[in-house]
């Protein structure tokens, strides 16, 4: 069912109440979906891939975002580049495969050819009047941070990506993700609005009831969690976890590995949160028993107990462990359809069957992603009902959801939507 907006967008924005979910139209209306694409997927930095997916010169990945199609590629000098997938002749889409490898990018329409730096190098029957240097592929703003690819489609990209690159670059450097190998990649479609996918990711209120695999290792204590609200047993458990986590974080920091939470929400153009979490169970990785799934660790790491370096942005969530990384990002497809792509990275020298078992490496997050997709499904069904009205968020375990939504509304207002 498609619900159209019945009130001006400014009224809808004004009706948002802090501490609550959004009015239904934000999750269902096609008009708002278009606004979301324009503001949050064209004018903000979005995660769209990892360099390990395009390891060799000529490797190309196509990423479609609304009406735009972007090519991520590796040039002959091993530099990663991003271009609009639009021919400079009559605009045809050049690459239609999701992943390919090419010597040159050749438009299938009239065979204009571009080298891997985007320069137009061949255009038959155009006479002497064509200035090839003015007809290269249009580049897209690109920022590669430790092997993770961010783009911004708008001409003017938020400047705070440099600050984020400094923070993340230092934290991710030990994992050397730019040298890692893709062990597995999986794309699923969540039948829900992209904001429901993200909100679902920002809390672990649902973990106990839905993620039997993940809760073995992920301690889902929320930012702003209030221990006074807990029962005696939970309070003791919480206090013990806090003691262990604080000691571990202090130890990592003393070793020179930044681990404390850094948050970019309200007041920031780009949303970002990162923190190194302590892992429960055996304490090494997100596997069923918490032990590392891959024998060869990432980068030059030697200790498998390196925590869970967590990162989320407004279209992504990732976990970096000593033995592997699991990196996920979303692209909205429709008001009620969101594509979720996840890649699992391991040391480039790690061999499947010898150093790791693929099922063991991937089983926790494959299960978790599907469980989350099922939750997003029922959330979308509910917000599409006439009975839905914005509901209150827990101030103890949904504070990140609240801040997520507040950032979203703030950004809408900053871009001229709302009062």
Local structure of 323: helix, strand or coil? coil
Retrieve residue 82's tokens: 């991003």
* 323 near Fe ion (CB under 5 A): no
Nearest CB to Fe ion, comparing residues 44 and 319: 319
Nearer of residues 137 and 149 to ligand FES, judged by Cβ: 137
Tell me the closest approach of the beta carbon of residue 368 to Fe ion, in angstroms.
6
- Alpha helices per DSSP H over 264-394: 358-383
Q: Kindly tell me which residue out of 190, 203, 355, 372 binds Fe ion, with binding defined by CB under 5 A.
A: 372
Q: Rounded to an integer, what distance in angstroms lies between the CA atom of residue 247 and that of residue 241?
A: 10
Cβ at position 121, least distance to ligand FES in Å:
13
Q: Select the binding partner of residue 87 from Fe ion, ligand FES, none (C-beta < 5 to 8 A, by kind).
A: ligand FES
What part of residues 83-112 is at the interface with ligand FES (CB under 6 A)? 87, 89-90, 92, 107, 109-110, 112
Only one of the segments 59-67, 154-162, 371-379, 401-409 lies at the binding site for Fe ion (rule: CB under 5 A); that segment is 371-379
Least separation in angstroms between residue 125's CB and ligand FES is 11
Beta strand extents in 146-278 (DSSP E only): 148-152, 181-190, 262-264, 272-277
| 62: β partners | 71
Give Cα 24 to chain centroid, integer Å: 24
Dist CA 72 CA 48 (whole Å): 9
Q: Residue 70 carries which DSSP code?
A: E
Chain position carrying tokens 């006074």: 228
Residues 263-302 that bind ligand FES (CB under 6 A): none
Smaller CB distance to ligand FES: residue 41 or 112? Answer: 112
Tokens of 42: 């064209």
- Measured from the CB atom, the residue of 29 and 95 that comes closer to ligand FES is 95
Positions in 204-223 near ligand FES (CB under 6 A): none
| Residues contacting 236, CB < 8 A, separation 6+ | none
3-state secondary structure of 81: strand
Task: Report the residue number, 137 or 293, with the smaller CB distance to ligand FES.
Answer: 137
Nearer to ligand FES, 72 or 107 (CB): 107
Closest separation in Å from C-beta 120 to ligand FES: 10
Rounded Cα gap, residues 314 and 306, in angstroms: 25
CA 361 to chain centre: 20
Residues near ligand FES (CB under 6 A): 87, 89-90, 92, 107, 109-110, 112
Residue numbers at the binding site for Fe ion (CB under 5 A): 372
């Amino acid at each position: 069912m498609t619900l159209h907006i019945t009130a001006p967008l400014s009224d809808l924005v004004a009706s948002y109440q802090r501490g609550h979910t959004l009015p239904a139209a934000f999750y269902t209306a096609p008009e708002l979906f278009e606004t979301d694409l324009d503001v949050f997927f064209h004018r903000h930095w979005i995660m769209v891939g990892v360099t390990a997916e395009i390891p060799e010169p000529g490797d190309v990945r196509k990423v479609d975002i609304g009406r735009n199609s972007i090519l991520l590629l590796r040039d002959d000098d091993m530099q990663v580049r991003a271009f609009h997938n639009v021919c400079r002749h009559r605009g045809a889409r050049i690459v239609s495969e999701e992943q390919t490898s090419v010597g040159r990018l050749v438009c299938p329409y009239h065979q204009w050819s571009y080298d891997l730096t985007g320069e137009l190098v061949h255009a038959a029957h155009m006479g002497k009047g064509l200035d090839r240097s003015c007809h290269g592929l249009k580049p897209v703003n690109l920022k590669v941070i430790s092997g993770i690819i961010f783009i911004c489609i708008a001409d003017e990209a938020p400047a705070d990506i440099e600050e984020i690159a400094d923070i993340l670059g230092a934290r991710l450097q030990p994992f050397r993700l730019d040298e890692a190998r893709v062990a597995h990649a999986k794309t699923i479609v969540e039948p829900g609005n992209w904001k429901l996918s993200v909100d679902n990711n920002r809390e672990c209120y649902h973990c106990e009831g839905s993620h039997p695999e993940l809760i073995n290792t992920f301690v889902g204590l929320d930012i702003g969690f209030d221990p006074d609200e807990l029962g005696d047993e939970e309070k003791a458990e919480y206090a013990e976890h806090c003691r262990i986590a604080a000691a571990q974080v202090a130890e990592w920091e003393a070793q020179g590995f930044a681990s404390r939470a850094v948050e970019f929400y309200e007041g920031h153009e780009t949303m970002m949160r990162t923190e190194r979490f302590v892992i429960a169970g055996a304490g090494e990785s997100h596997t069923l028993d918490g032990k590392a799934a891959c024998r060869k660790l990432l980068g030059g790491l030697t200790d498998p107990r390196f925590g869970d370096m967590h990162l989320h942005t407004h279209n992504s969530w990732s976990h970096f462990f000593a033995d592997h990384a699991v990196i996920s990002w979303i692209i909205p497809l429709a008001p009620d359809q969101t594509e979720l792509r996840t890649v699992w990275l391991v040391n480039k020298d790690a061999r499947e069957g010898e150093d790791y078992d693929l099922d063991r490496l991937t089983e926790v997050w494959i299960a978790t992603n599907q469980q989350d997709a099922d939750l997003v499904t029922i959330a979308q069904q509910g917000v599409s009902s006439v009975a839905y009205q914005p509901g209150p968020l827990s101030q103890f375990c949904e504070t990140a959801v609240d801040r997520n939504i507040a950032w979203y509304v703030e950004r809408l207002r900053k871009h001229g939507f709302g009062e």
